C-alpha cells in the first residue's frame, strides 16, 4: 500500500562497514572469549599524536585524525565487478541445476549479496537453501543460521532448542532426513508432537511384538552371570551374529557362549536381549544406550546402531549434553547424534564460540577430520562458523583457524575465492602482510578481481607503494570502472591525482564513505572546520554509520559546539552501544559523561519536549540522541526502546533497529506489551501471519494503541482491497481511541488519511492530515499534498510539499515527492536535489530515464517511456546503468529491461530480467516481461 510506505520502516540497506584494526595480533588469544568483541569502526581513524592546544584538548586525548593516516577497509566479501551479469548468471544456473546443486548456488548468491548489505535478500537466500536440502547435516546448519540471523539468542526466556514456530527453522524438523518443500512462512507442528523423529521412545523395525511364546535357547555368559536369549532373535541383529550362531563356528552348537571378553557389561547384554525382542530403547538409561551403540558398532548391528543413534540424539537438549555426547558420537560414527550435538552448539552461537571446548571441536585440522568421518565437515558448516567469528572478533586466532578450515573444505572456484579473500582480510587486520599477500594472490588466481585491492593494500603496507598503484592502474584499464577501484588507487597517489580519484569514486559509487571522510579531514587540516562538517554531512544524510558520526563529533568538539558533538555521540551509541572512540582508547559512554558537564542538563520532561520537537522536524539523529539520554535515566523503558527502533529503521540501520526491538521486548512489563513487540519482530523478519496473530493475542489481553496499530499495519501491507480497507480504517479508529502520545497518534492519523485517499474519501483524508498537523506530525504535509493533487489543486499540493521541505531536517524524499506537483523543469531541479541529498533513492533515476512522455506501469509506480526515439532510449538506459553500477535494484532492473525490449534488444532485456528475478524470483511483472522477451527473442531468431 503506497500510503503505508511513507513511514519507510523497511528500507533495507544495512550500514555496517568493517574496518581494519590497529591491534597487535600478538596480543590476541586463541579464542574470541579472551579478546572480546573488537570495535572495527573506530579504527578507521588513525590519529595524530599531536595534542590539540585548544579548549577542547581534554576531550581529544589523541588529537585529530590526519589524512595520511586514514584508510578504508577491504570488505571481507565476494564482490563482483558487474553485479547485474553475476546475478543473471546465478538465476540461470539455479533454474537449470539439479536439486542437489541448489544449496551451493544459494550460498554463492548469499556470499555475493553480503556486499549489498540487505538483510532481507540474505534471509531469502538462506530460506531457499534450507528449502532445497534433505540431508540432516545441511538442515541443521541452515536452521541454526536462520536463528542466528534473527538473533533469537538475545530474547529473554527463549532457549536454543525452542521451536520458533516456522518449519524451516525448527530444530526437530532439521533432524528428519527429507525435503521440507514448505513455504518460508509455513508453521511447524512440532509443538503438537507431529514432527517425525521427535519422540524419545524409539521403535525400530516392524511391530516390536512380544516373544513370550518363544523359548530361550542360548545363553551369553559374562563372568558368573548368564543372559538367556532367543538364538534367532540375536542372529538377525547382524551378519556376524548370524554366522556365529548358525554358521560353521563352534558357537553354533553351544547353548552357553562365553562373552566375557567382548567389552560389554551384564546390564548391556541384557539390554541387547531386550532390544532383540522389542526393538525398544526407552526403558534404558543413556549409559546403557551408549554401551549398546558401541556394541552395535563392534558387531555390525546396523539396526541397533541406528536406534541408539536416534535415541541418544533425542536426549541432547543443552550445551552440556552436547559437549558430553559429541565425543561418543564421533568415536562411534553416530551421525545423527553428532548432528544433534552440533545443532545445540550452532544454535547457541555466538556465545558458544567463547567456550574453549566448543572451539576445540571445530578449529583444528584433527577436529575437522573427525567431523568429516561422520559427514559433518562441510563448506556450509565452516562458512557459517567463520562468518559468526568474523563478526565477533576479526583478529582472533579462532577466526583465523575457522577460515583455514573453510579453505580446506572449498571445492568450487567461488568457494576458494571467498575463503582465500577472507583469510587475506583477516591476516591484513592482524598485520601479517606477507601471508595476506599470498592469500589475496591465490584468490585472484581463482578469479576474484576485488582481491586485487587487498593485494595492493598488503604490498603498500610492506612499503611497495608504486607496485600498489600499478596494480590498481592496470585493474582500471582492464575492467569497466567501479567506484572502489578509484578509491583504492587514491591511497597510492598524491595531490590532484588523489582528489581526482576520490571524486571519481564518489561519482561512480556515492555509497563509499572513505572519499567523504578524506575530504572532510583534509578541510579540517586547512582549518576549514565548518566546510569539513558540510562534507561529512553529505554522506550522513543518506548513510548513517558510527565512524562518520564519530568524525563529525570530532569536528564539533574542535568548534567547541559541545551540544552537537554530544548529539552525534549519543546517536552513535544507539547504533553501537559499546563503541570505543579515539583509536579504541576512550569509550563513547565516557565521552558522553565529559561532554554532559559542558551542556545544559535536561530533565526527563525536558527530554520529552525535545523529542517531540525533533521528531516533528524529522531530525532522526537528534531524536535518537534524545532517546539515548532518556534511556540512560531509565534503561528498562520498553516504550523508548521501541521508539529507538523506529528511528533506526528509518535511517536504514536494520541490525541496530532489531536489537532495540528485542530489548523493548525483553523489558516489557506486561504480556500484552511483549506480544506487540514480538509481533513487530515477526513482521520485520518476514513472518506477517505470525505478526498478525501476536497483535490479536495482545488485543485479547488488553486493548492498546500499539496492538491495534500493528494489526492495521500488517493487514494494510499484506493486501488492501475495499473490504480489508474498511477493516483497517476500523482498526486505526480503535487505535486512536486508546491512550498514546502525539507522536504515535500523528502517525496513526497519517496512515488513516492514506487509507481514505486509497478509498477515494478525500475530505475525510484531508481531515486526518489536518488533525495530524495540529499535533505536529510534519509528514502529514505529504498526504495533504496528495489530496490537493487529486482535487486538481496542483499549486496547493506544491505548497504543502514546500512546507515539508522547510520543516524537515531530512528532506530528500520531500524534494522527490514535490517533483510530482510541478512542471518538468522544476521537477528536474527537485529530483536533482533529491539525488544530491540521497543518491540511493531510485525514483529520480527512473524519472530522468523516462523523459517527458511516461506512464505508470501496473501498481509499482515504475515509469516507462512511450514512443521515445533511439537517442532518448539510449540516454535512458545510460541513466539507469549509472545507478545500477552501485545499487542493483529490482525496479531499475525491470525498467531497463523494458527499455531494452522496446529497443528490440531482447538478449539484454532477458539478462536484466534474470538479474531482477535473482533478487525476487516471484516478482510477477518481471516474470511476465521475462517470458515475453524470451518469446520475442525466439521469434526473432527464427526469422533470421
Is 17:513 a contact under the CB 8 Å cutoff?
yes
Q: 10 Å Cβ neighbour count for 594?
A: 15
Nearest to 916 by CA among 78, 9, 2, 83: 83
In 3-state terms the chain splits into helix, strand, coil percentages (rounded to 5) of 65, 5, 30
Q: Which residues contact 272 (CB under 8 A, 6 or more apart)?
A: 227, 229, 234, 237, 264, 292, 295, 304
Residue 830 scores a pLDDT above 70: yes
Residue 246 scores a pLDDT above 60: yes
CA–CA separation, 571 and 629 (whole Å): 10
Residues 101-111 pLDDT 10s = 999 999 999 99
Average pLDDT over residues 147-173: 83
Q: Which is more confidently placed, 30 or 534?
A: 534
Query: Is the sign of the CA dihedral 571, 13, 895, 82 positive or negative?
Result: positive
Is 556:105 a contact under the CB 8 Å cutoff?
no
Any idea which of 56-60, 673-677, 832-836 has the lowest mean pLDDT?
56-60
The cell numbers describing 72, all together, are: 578504508
Predicted pLDDT at 633: 87
Residues 602-639 pLDDT 10s = 999 999 999 999 999 999 999 999 999 999 988 889 99
Average pLDDT over residues 353-360: 95
CA–CA separation, 918 and 118 (whole Å): 14
Is 687:127 a contact under the CB 8 Å cutoff?
no
Nearest to 745 by CA among 700, 781, 776: 776
Residues 299-343 pLDDT 10s = 999 999 999 999 999 999 999 999 999 999 999 999 999 999 999
Any idea which of 353-362, 487-496, 877-886 has the lowest mean pLDDT?
877-886
Predicted pLDDT at 528: 95
Residue 203 scores a pLDDT above 50: no
Spatial strand order in the sheet of 225-229 = 225-229, 218-222, 256-258
Residue 766 scores a pLDDT above 70: yes
Residues 20-54 pLDDT 10s = 334 344 344 444 443 444 444 444 444 343 333 44
Name the DSSP letter for residue 337.
H
Per DSSP, helices labelled H in 667-761 are 671-684, 688-701, 705-718, 722-737, 742-758
Residue 438 scores a pLDDT above 60: yes
Tally of CA atoms within 13 A in the half-sphere of 226 that contains its CB: 9
Give me the DSSP letters along 855-908.
EEETTTTEEEESS--HHHHHHHHHHHHHHHTT---HHHHHHHHHHHHHTT-HHH
Predicted pLDDT at 186: 66
Q: 10 Å Cβ neighbour count for 759?
A: 16
CA–CA separation, 897 and 888 (whole Å): 13
Give me the DSSP letters along 279-331.
-B-TTS-HHHHHHHHHHHHHTT-HHHHHHHHHHHHHH--SHHHHHHHHHHHHH
State the pLDDT confidence band at 217, using cuts at 50, 70 and 90: confident
Is 868:900 a contact under the CB 8 Å cutoff?
no
Q: 10 Å Cβ neighbour count for 853?
A: 12
| pTM of the shown model | 0.88
Predicted pLDDT at 46: 42
CA–CA separation, 272 and 279 (whole Å): 9
Chain mean pLDDT for the chain? 87
Q: How far is CA 227 from the centre of its chain?
A: 58
Predicted pLDDT at 184: 56
Predicted pLDDT at 440: 98
Predicted pLDDT at 193: 53
Q: How far is CA 224 from CA 250, 267, 272, 727, in A?
A: 21, 13, 18, 80
Question: What kind and span of H or E run contains 587?
Answer: strand 586-587
Percent of the chain residues past pLDDT 90, beyond the cut: 72
Q: How far is CA 178 from CA 98, 163, 181, 195, 936, in A?
A: 16, 18, 9, 12, 40
Specify which residues 221 forms β-bridges with: 226, 258
Is 77:111 a contact under the CB 8 Å cutoff?
yes
Buried/exposed code over 677-713 (b: 16+ C-beta within 10 A; e: otherwise): bbbbbbbbbbbbebbbbbbebbbeeeebbbbbbbbbb
Q: Which is more confidently placed, 734 or 878?
A: 734
Average pLDDT over residues 391-413: 96
Predicted pLDDT at 772: 95
Predicted pLDDT at 607: 94
Residues 874-919 pLDDT 10s = 888 888 998 899 889 999 999 999 999 988 999 999 999 999 999 9
Predicted pLDDT at 20: 37
Pairing of strands 65-70, 218-222: unpaired
Residues 67-96 pLDDT 10s = 888 899 999 999 999 999 999 999 999 999
Using H for helix, E for strand and C for coil, what is the string for 140-154? HHHHHHHHHHHCHHH
CA–CA separation, 203 and 211 (whole Å): 16
CA–CA separation, 921 and 919 (whole Å): 6
The cell numbers describing 227, all together, are: 543372559
CA–CA separation, 691 and 712 (whole Å): 11
Name the DSSP letter for residue 601.
-
Residue 190 scores a pLDDT above 70: no
The cell numbers describing 803, all together, are: 512546507
Is 816:830 a contact under the CB 8 Å cutoff?
yes
SS3 561: coil
Q: Which is more confidently placed, 362 or 99?
A: 362
Residue 696 scores a pLDDT above 80: yes
Residue 790 scores a pLDDT above 60: yes
Is 61:586 a contact under the CB 8 Å cutoff?
yes
Percent of the chain residues past pLDDT 70, beyond the cut: 87
State the pLDDT confidence band at 161, using cuts at 50, 70 and 90: confident
Average pLDDT over residues 377-396: 96
Q: How far is CA 58 from CA 52, 579, 594, in A?
A: 9, 19, 9
Amino acid at each position: 500500500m503506497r500510503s503505508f510506505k511513507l513511514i519507510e520502516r523497511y528500507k533495507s540497506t544495512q550500514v555496517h562497514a568493517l574496518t581494519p584494526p590497529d591491534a597487535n595480533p600478538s596480543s590476541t588469544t586463541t579464542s574470541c572469549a579472551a579478546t572480546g568483541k573488537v570495535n572495527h569502526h573506530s579504527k578507521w581513524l588513525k590519529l595524530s599524536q599531536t595534542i590539540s592546544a585548544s579548549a577542547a584538548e581534554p576531550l581529544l586525548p589523541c588529537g585529530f585524525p590526519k589524512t595520511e593516516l586514514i584508510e578504508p577497509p577491504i570488505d571481507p566479501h565476494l564482490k563482483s565487478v558487474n553485479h547485474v551479469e553475476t546475478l543473471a548468471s546465478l538465476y540461470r544456473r539455479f533454474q537449470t541445476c539439479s536439486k542437489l546443486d541448489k544449496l551451493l548456488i544459494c550460498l554463492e548468491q548469499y556470499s555475493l549479496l553480503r556486499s549489498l548489505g540487505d538483510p532481507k535478500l540474505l534471509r531469502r537466500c538462506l530460506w531457499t537453501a534450507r528449502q532445497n536440502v534433505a540431508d540432516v547435516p545441511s538442515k541443521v546448519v541452515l536452521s541454526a543460521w536462520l536463528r542466528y540471523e534473527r538473533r533469537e539468542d538475545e530474547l529473554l526466556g527463549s532457549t536454543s532448542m525452542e521451536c520458533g514456530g516456522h518449519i524451516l527453522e525448527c530444530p526437530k524438523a532439521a533432524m528428519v532426513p527429507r525435503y521440507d518443500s514448505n513455504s518460508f512462512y509455513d508453521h511447524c507442528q512440532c509443538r503438537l508432537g507431529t514432527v517425525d523423529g521427535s519422540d524419545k521412545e524409539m521403535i525400530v523395525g516392524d511391530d516390536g511384538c512380544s516373544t513370550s511364546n518363544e523359548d530361550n535357547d542360548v545363553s551369553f555368559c559374562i563372568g558368573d552371570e548368564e543372559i538367556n536369549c532367543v538364538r534367532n532373535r540375536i542372529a538377525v541383529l547382524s551378519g556376524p551374529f548370524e554366522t556365529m550362531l548358525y554358521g560353521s563356528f563352534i558357537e553354533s552348537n553351544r547353548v552357553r557362549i562365553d562373552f566375557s571378553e567382548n567389552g560389554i557389561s551384564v546390564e548391556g547384554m541384557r539390554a541387547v536381549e531386550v532390544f532383540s525382542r522389542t526393538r525398544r530403547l526407552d526403558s534404558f538409561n543413556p549409559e546403557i544406550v551408549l554401551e549398546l551403540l558401541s556394541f552395535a558398532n563392534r558387531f555390525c548391528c546396523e539396526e541397533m546402531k541406528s536406534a541408539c543413534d536416534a535415541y541418544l540424539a533425542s536426549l541432547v537438549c543443552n550445551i552440556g549434553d552436547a559437549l558430553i555426547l559429541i565425543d561418543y558420537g564421533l568415536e562411534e560414527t553416530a551421525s545423527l547424534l553428532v548432528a544433534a550435538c552440533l545443532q545445540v552448539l550452532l544454535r547457541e552461537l555466538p556465545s558458544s564460540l567463547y567456550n574453549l571446548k566448543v572451539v576445540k571441536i571445530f578449529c583444528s585440522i584433527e577436529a575437522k577430520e573427525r567431523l568429516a568421518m561422520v559427514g559433518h565437515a562441510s563448506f556450509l558448516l565452516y562458512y557459517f562458523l567463520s562468518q559468526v567469528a568474523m563478526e565477533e572478533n576479526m583478529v582472533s586466532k579462532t577466526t583465523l583457524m575457522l577460515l583455514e578450515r573453510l579453505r580446506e573444505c572449498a571445492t568450487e572456484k567461488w568457494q576458494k575465492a571467498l575463503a582465500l579473500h577472507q583469510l587475506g582480510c583477516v591476516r591484513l587486520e592482524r598485520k601479517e602482510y606477507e601471508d595476506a599477500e599470498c592469500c589475496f594472490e591465490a584468490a585472484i588466481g581463482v578469479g576474484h578481481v576485488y582481491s586485487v585491492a587487498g593485494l595492493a593494500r598488503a604490498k603498500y603496507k610492506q612499503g611497495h607503494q608504486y607496485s600498489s598503484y600499478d596494480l590498481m592502474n592496470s585493474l582500471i584499464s582492464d575492467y569497466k570502472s567501479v567506484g572502489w577501484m578509484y578509491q583504492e588507487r587514491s591511497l597510492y597517489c598524491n595531490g590532484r591525482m588523489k582528489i581526482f580519484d576520490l571524486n571519481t569514486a564518489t561519482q561512480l559509487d556515492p555509497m563509499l564513505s572513505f572519499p567523504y571522510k578524506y575530504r572532510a579531514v583534509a578541510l579540517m587540516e586547512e582549518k576549514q572546520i565548518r566546510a569539513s562538517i558540510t562534507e561529512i554531512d553529505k554522506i550522513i544524510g543518506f548513510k548513517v554509520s558510527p565512524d562518520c558520526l564519530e568524525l563529525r563529533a570530532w569536528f564539533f568538539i574542535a568548534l567547541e559546539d559541545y551540544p552537537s558533538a554530544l548529539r552525534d555521540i549519543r546517536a552513535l551509541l544507539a547504533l553501537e552501544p559499546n563503541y570505543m572512540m579515539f583509536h579504541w582508547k576512550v569509550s563513547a559512554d565516557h565521552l558522553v559523561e565529559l561532554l554532559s558537564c559542558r551542556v545544559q542538563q535536561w530533565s526527563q520532561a525536558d527530554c520529552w519536549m525535545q523529542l517531540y520537537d525533533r521528531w516533528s522536524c524529522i531530525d532522526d539523529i537528534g531524536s535518537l540522541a534524545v532517546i539515548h539520554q532518556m534511556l540512560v535515566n531509565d534503561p528498562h523503558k520498553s516504550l523508548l526502546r521501541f521508539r529507538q527502533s523506529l528511528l533506526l529503521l528509518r535511517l536504514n540501520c536494520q541490525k541496530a533497529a532489531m536489537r532495540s526491538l528485542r530489548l523493548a521486548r525483553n523489558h516489557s512489563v506486561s504480556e500484552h506489551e511483549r506480544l506487540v513487540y514480538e509481533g513487530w519482530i515477526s513482521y520485520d523478519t518476514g513472518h506477517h501471519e505470525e505478526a498478525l496473530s501476536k497483535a490479536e493475542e495482545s488485543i485479547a489481553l488488553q486493548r492498546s494503541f500499539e496492538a491495534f496499530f500493528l494489526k492495521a499495519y500488517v493487514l494494510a501491507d499484506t493486501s488492501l482491497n475495499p473490504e480489508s480497507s474498511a477493516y483497517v480504517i476500523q482498526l486505526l479508529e480503535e487505535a486512536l481511541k486508546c491512550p498514546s502520545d502525539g507522536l504515535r497518534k500523528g502517525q496513526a492519523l497519517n496512515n488513516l488519511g492514506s487509507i481514505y485517499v486509497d478509498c477515494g474519501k478525500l475530505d475525510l483524508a484531508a481531515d486526518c492530515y489536518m488533525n495530524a498537523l495540529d499535533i505536529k506530525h510534519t509528514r502529514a504535509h505529504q498526504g495533504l499534498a496528495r489530496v490537493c493533487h487529486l482535487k486538481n489543486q496542483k499549486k496547493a499540493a506544491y505548497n504543502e510539499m514546500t512546507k515539508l521541505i522547510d520543516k524537515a531536517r531530512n528532506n530528500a524524499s520531500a524534494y522527490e515527492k514535490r517533483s510530482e506537483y510541478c512542471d518538468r523543469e522544476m521537477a528536474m531541479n527537485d529530483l536533482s536535489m533529491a539525488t544530491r541529498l540521497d543518491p540511493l533513492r531510485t525514483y529520480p533515476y527512473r524519472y530522468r530515464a523516462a523523459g517527458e512522455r511516461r506512464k505508470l506501469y501496473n501498481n509499482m509506480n515504475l515509469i516507462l517511456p512511450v514512443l521515445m526515439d533511439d537517442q532518448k532510449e539510449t540516454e535512458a538506459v545510460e541513466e539507469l546503468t549509472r545507478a545500477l553500477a552501485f545499487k542493483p535494484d529490482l525496479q531499475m532492473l525491470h525498467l531497463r529491461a523494458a527499455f531494452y525490449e522496446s529497443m528490440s534488444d531482447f538478449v539484454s532485456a532477458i539478462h536484466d530480467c534474470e538479474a531482477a528475478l535473482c533478487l525476487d524470483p516471484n516478482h510477477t511483472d518481471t516474470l511476465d516481461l521475462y517470458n515475453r522477451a524470451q518469446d520475442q527473442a525466439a521469434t526473432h531468431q527464427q526469422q533470421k
